[in-house]
Chains A and B, each alone.
Chain A
Amino acid sequence: MEDNHKKNKSGISRRAFIRGAGLTTAGTLAIQTGVMAGTSEADKATKELGPNAVNISMNVNGRVYKLNVEPRATLAKALREELQLTGTKVVCDRGSCSACTVWLDNTPVNACMTFAMDVGEKKVTTIEGLAKNGELHPIQEAFIEHDASQCGFCTPGMIMSTASLINQNPNPSIDDVKHATRGNYCRCGTYPHVFQATLAAAKKI
C-alpha cells in the first residue's frame, strides 16, 4: 500500500497554519493591523509583503534593531534567533503557557502568538530589559529572596506577568496575583513562592 506521509487532522500545527498564511495573506494581515514599521501610509495601502523576508525595525529594550524577517516569523522567534535574546522561552508555541511573555509598550503579550512584523512602533520589553542600569526590578529581587524559581524555565514569563501587574497595581491582592499569572504554566509547582514574591515586591515599591 503506497501512501504519502500526511499530518493527521488534529496535527495541523499553528506553525503550519502561519506558514500558509505567510505564503498567501501575510500582506493583507499586515495592512489590516496597520502597525507596520518603516512603511509609509502609501505603502500600507498598496504594498503586499512576503512571502520572502522583509526589512523591519524594532525597538527592543530601548534599542532599535534592523531585522530581516519572514512574515511567518513570530516575535518569539525573532527575539530568540535573530537577536539572541533567549530569555524569552517557547514552550507550547500556541499561547497556552505564557513562558514567552514580553511587553508591547507596557502590555504583556505572548511572543509566540505575535508576528514580528506586527510589532510596528510598539516598544518591546523582554526579561533581559527589565533590570535598569544593572538594578534588578523589585520583582526580580523578590523572586530571588523567596526562591520563586526551581528549574527556572517559566521564570522569565512569570516575572514579565507579575512585574506588569505591580507596575500597574502597586497594591495587589493575592487574587490579583493569581489573575495576572493565570496563564503562566510552571511544572515544578513554584506558584506559592511566585505569589509570595509578588506580594512582597509590591509592598516594597
Chain B
Amino acid sequence: METKKIKMPFGIKGERIEEVEREVPLSEPDAWPVNESLKQVGKSVKRLDAVAKVTGSAKYTSDIQLPGMLIGKMLNSDRPSATILSMDTSAAESLAGVYGIHIMKNEEKGEFPIIRYAGQPIAAVAALTEDIAEEAVDLIKVNYQEKPFVVDMELAMKPEAPIVYDAPVEQKASEGGEEIEEGLKVIGNVRGPNVGQPRGEIEKGFEAADVVLEHTYKTQVQTHNSLESHGMVVDWRFDGVTIYASTQGTQGVRDEFAELFDLPKSKVRVIVEFMGGGFGAKHGLGTHGQAAGYLAKKTGRPVKVMASRKEEQTSQGNRPNSIQRLKIGVKKNGDLTAIEQEAYGTAGVGLGAGVGGVAQSLYSCPNFQTRQYDVFTHAGPGAAWRAPGAVQGIFGLEQMMDELAESIDMDPLKLRDKADPSRVRKAARKMGAERFDWSRRKPKASDNGPIKRGIGMAQSSWWRVYNYNATVEVKLLRDGALEVRSGVQDIGTGTKTILAQVVAEEFGLNTEDINVRIGDTLFPDAPGSGGSQVTASITPAARNAAFQVKLKLFEKVADMLEVKASTLTMEDGKIYSTEDTAKSMSFLDAVAKLPVSQIVATESRSAEYDGDYLHWDLGSAQFAELSVDTETGFIKVDKIVAAHSCGRPINPLQVESQINGGIIQGTSYALYEDRILDRNTGHMVNHSLDTYKTTYGVDIPDIDIVLMEGYNAKSSTDAYGIGEPANIATAAAIANAVYNAIGVRIREIPITPDKVLKALNKV
C-alpha cells in the first residue's frame, strides 16, 4: 500500500492540542484541523430525518403494509420447562382467514421445540388480520410433558437444581459485544470459569497491600423495552426476498436469513429506514424474523410478525444479572496491589453474563485474577444491552474504589488519579469535577433532618471499537447532487446526518445538500450498530469515498482550467487553484461539463493510523447529586454532570442526546428496573410497561454535559461512538452518592425505598 505522511491534531481541547505525524494510505485525505476550523463537522446541524419524525411520516418496520400482507402471531410456551409430546393445529388451520402455521425449529432436530422458559416461542400463525391470527393461536393445542425448572440464579447453581441444558450448547455472540467465551466447561447449570487475561501473582499482591477489602455487589436483570418491538416483514418473491426489519444490523439479518433458507446472499435484501430503538437486542434474524421467513415461504404472501409487548419483555433479550465478589488490595499511597474478582450471572437460556472487562483493564494493577461464570436458568435469553458487562462490572468496581479510598482516607478522585493511567479519563475527572464543584462534597451522612443529600462519582471505560467492514459509496451527479449510500443503519443515533456532514465538509457544501440513503443491503456492506463502532467505522469510509470523488472531479476540472489537479481545492461551492486563485470555476459549472453523467467512488475504513486496535480509552466521569428521604426511602437524583470523550464529536447536539439517554437509562437501572420472575410458575410477572418501572420524564435528573473534544490521530475523521460509554458509570455514581448521603452502603440495585429503609434499620 502506498502511503504518505501527514500532520494531525492530537490532544484534548481545553488541555493541550499538539501536532503529530502519521503515515496514512495515499488514497485518504489530509487531516482535518480541529472542529472550530470546520464548517459542517463539529456543528450541531439538524437531523436530516427530523421532519419525517416530527410529522409522523417516518415509516418504521411496524408501519409497513404491503399488498396481500398477512399478519403473524406467536404461540408461546406457558410452561417454563417441558417436552412437547404433540401439537394439534387442526382447529387453527381450519379457522377462516388462516393461511399458514409454522412450528419453531428444534435445535436437536426433534419435531417440536424443547421448552426451556415460559414465553418461549413455539409456533407462529399467519392470517389475514391480527385478530384472526390471535384467535388461531388460542386454538392450537399443545400436549406438554412438564419438567422441573429453576429461574432463581442462586438456586440454579446448586448441584441438585433442574438442568437447563443436558448436553453441551454452542452459543454465538452477536455484534453487540457481549462478553462470551468459547470452549468453557459446563457443570450442572454453571459454565466457566472465564479467566480473562490474568496477570501477576495475586497472593503476593495482597501481601503488599496496606488494606484489603472484600465485598459482594449485586445487579438485577434489566429488559430492553424498546418502543418498537422486535419484528420483520418478509416479502418472498421468485427473484429474491425483501425483508423490512426492525434491526441494528442489516448485514447480519441478510447473512443469517440466507444461511437459514440456503439462499445466496445476493437474493436477500434487508431494509430498515427507521428503527424504534434497539439498545443491543436487535441484532440478527431473531425468532420473529425466522417465523416471518418460514410463513412467507409457506404462504407465498408477504408476512409481518412483530413481537407483542409481553414477548418483547420475556423472549427478546435482557441484561444478565450479576453477583460479583471483589477483593482489592491498596497501599496507603493509593497504589492498587491486587484485584481478585469472582462473578456469576444469568442470561437465562442463553449467552454469556461476564462482567470482567472493566476490572481487568480500567486500573493499573500488577496483579489481577478473575473467575466469571454464566449460570443457565429457565428464563428468556440475554442479549447485548448497551455496554454489556461493563455496566454491571462498573457498578461493583467503582463502588469498591470509593470504599478503598475511604479506607485509606483519600479523596475518591485522588485515588483514581493515582490508579488510572488514562489521559482521557484524567481530563474527564478534572473537567467534570470543576463543572460539578466536587469541592463541596461533605463527609458522609452530614445532613441533619430526614432529607439527606449526597454526592458521588464513578467513571467508565469502553473500547475504541471500529470495523474494517465499513464501506460507503459516494455518487456525484451532473446537476451537483451528491448521494451517500451504505448498508449501515441509523437506529436513532444520527448516523444519517453525520454521514452527510462528513461528505459536505469534504466538498465545501451544506449538510442538507447531501442525500443519504442507508439501511439497505443493496448498498455497500457496513457493520451493525453495536459496540459503539458505527461512527468510528463508517465516517472515515464516507470521507475517503468523498475524497476520491473529489479527486476524480478535480482531474476533469484541471483539464478545463489548464492547471495541475493537485493544486485544486474546493470551498463554498467554488473550485480554484491554490497557485492561481483566478483559475476557478463554480462547482455546479464543473459538474455540468462532466463528460459522463456521474462520478462514483466506493471506499472502506482502513486500519487505525497508529496501528493500535483496541483501546479502553473512550472514557468518562459522571458525578451524581441526590437526595434521600430517610423516612420513605425514596431517592431523587437531582443532578448528573457527565464529562465524556468520543474523539472528534461530529454533531455535538446528537452526541448530547445520546449521553442524556445513557444517563437516564443508568438512573433507571440504578433505582427502578427489575425483571421479576415468579419462582413458582417461571413466569415474568411485570411484563407490561406499567408494572416494569422505568424512568419517565418526571423522574429524570438535571443533566449537565461536558463534551470533551478529543483528537487521537487515528483515522480520516478521528471520530468515535458514544452510545455505550454514556450508559456505564451512572448507576455506580448514584450508589456512591447514596452512601455519601446516608452513610450506609447499598451494594445491590435497584436501590428501591425498601432497600434504603432496610439499610437504615427502619424496617
Q: Taking beta carbons and an 8 Å cutoff, which residues of A are in contact with B?
A: 1-8, 10-11, 13, 15-16, 19, 70, 72, 80-81, 84-94, 96-97, 99, 126-128, 130-131, 136, 140, 143-147, 149-156, 159, 178-179, 181-195
Contacts and interface: CB of A to CB of B under 8 A. Distances in A.
A164 to B, nearest CB: 15
B78 A87 contact: no
Given A4-B141, A8-B681, A189-B695, A145 B46 contact: yes
B660 A1 contact: no
A151 B697 CA distance: 17
A140 B54 contact: yes
Interface string B35-66: 00000000010110111111111111011010
B129 to A, nearest CB: 8
Given A19-B131, A91-B309, A97-B689, A151 B142 contact: no
A5 B75 contact: yes
Contacts of B688: 92, 94, 96
The list of the 6 closest CB pairs from A to B, nearest first, reads A87-B56, A151-B492, A189-B664, A189-B661, A153-B276, A127-B56
Interface string B67-95: 00000000100100000000000000000
Nearest to B702: A192
A1 B146 contact: yes
B138 interface: yes
Interface of B: 44, 46-47, 49-60, 62-63, 65, 75, 78, 131, 134, 138, 140-146, 224-228, 274-277, 279, 308-310, 491-494, 653-654, 656-658, 660-665, 681, 683, 685, 688-690, 694-698, 700, 703
A194 B697 CA distance: 9
A147 B657 CA distance: 7
B54 A155 contact: yes
Contacts of B662: 189
B145 A182 contact: no
Given A151-B228, A152-B492, A153-B60, 11 more contacts: A3-B144, A13-B310, A92-B689, A128-B55, A136-B54, A140-B54, A143-B53, A147-B50, A152-B276, A189-B661, A189-B695
Contacts of B225: 187
Nearest to A183: B696
Nearest to B226: A187
B510 to A, nearest CB: 16
A151 B491 contact: yes
Nearest to A14: B688
Contacts of A8: 78, 681, 683
Nearest to A16: B134
B54 A144 contact: yes
A178 B308 CA distance: 28
B50 A143 contact: yes
Contacts of B134: 15-16
Nearest to B493: A150
Contacts of B276: 89, 151-153
Contacts of A153: 60, 226-228, 276-277
Nearest to A175: B698
A131 B53 CA distance: 13
A189 B51 CA distance: 19
A70 B494 CA distance: 40
B721 to A, nearest CB: 14
A178 B702 CA distance: 13
26 contacts: A1-B145, A3-B144, A5-B140, A5-B141, A10-B683, A10-B685, A81-B65, A85-B56, A89-B227, A90-B62, A92-B309, A147-B653, A150-B657, A152-B274, A152-B276, A153-B277, A156-B56, A178-B698, A179-B698, A184-B696, A184-B697, A185-B689, A187-B694, A188-B492, A188-B657, A194-B697
A154 B227 contact: yes
Contacts of B658: 150
A181 B63 CA distance: 24
A5 B123 CA distance: 12
Nearest to B690: A96
Contact of B703 (A7, A92, A130, A192): A192
Contact of B55 (A87, A154, A179): A87
Contact of A150 (B58, B146, B492): B492
Contacts of A13: 308, 310
A81 B69 CA distance: 12
Contacts of B665: 187, 189
A16 B54 CA distance: 32
Contacts of B656: 147, 193
A92 B657 CA distance: 24
B753 to A, nearest CB: 20
A190 B228 contact: no
A110 B78 CA distance: 30
Nearest to B78: A8
A165 to B, nearest CB: 12
B137 to A, nearest CB: 8
A143 B53 CA distance: 9
A91 B578 CA distance: 57
Given A92-B688, A189-B663, A5 B309 contact: no
B47 A151 contact: no
Contacts of B60: 86, 89, 153
A140 B46 CA distance: 13
Contact of A189 (B142, B491, B660): B660
Contact of B65 (A84, A88, A149): A84
Given A185-B689, A189-B662, A127 B55 contact: yes
Contacts of A5: 75, 78, 138, 140-142
Nearest to B52: A152
B36 to A, nearest CB: 21
Given A147-B657, A189-B664, A191-B664, A1 B144 contact: yes
Contact of B143 (A3, A81, A143, A191): A3
A80 B226 CA distance: 20
A89 B689 CA distance: 15
Contacts of A91: 227-228, 309, 689
A181 B310 CA distance: 24
B82 to A, nearest CB: 10
Contacts of B494: 150
Nearest to A129: B56
A130 B53 CA distance: 13
B612 to A, nearest CB: 31
A75 B703 CA distance: 37
Contacts of B58: 87, 152
Nearest to A193: B657
A16 B57 CA distance: 30
Contact of B279 (A70, A84, A128, A187): A187
A72 B135 CA distance: 14
A97 B270 CA distance: 29
Contacts of A192: 660, 700, 703
Contacts of A186: 227, 697
Contact of B696 (A2, A70, A90, A182): A182
Contacts of A97: 227, 689
Contacts of A89: 60, 62, 227-228, 276
A99 B225 CA distance: 14
B138 A144 contact: no
B277 A151 contact: yes
B385 to A, nearest CB: 12
A151 B494 CA distance: 9
Contacts of A96: 688-690
A185 B53 contact: no
B50 A149 contact: yes
A188 B343 CA distance: 29
A86 B227 contact: no
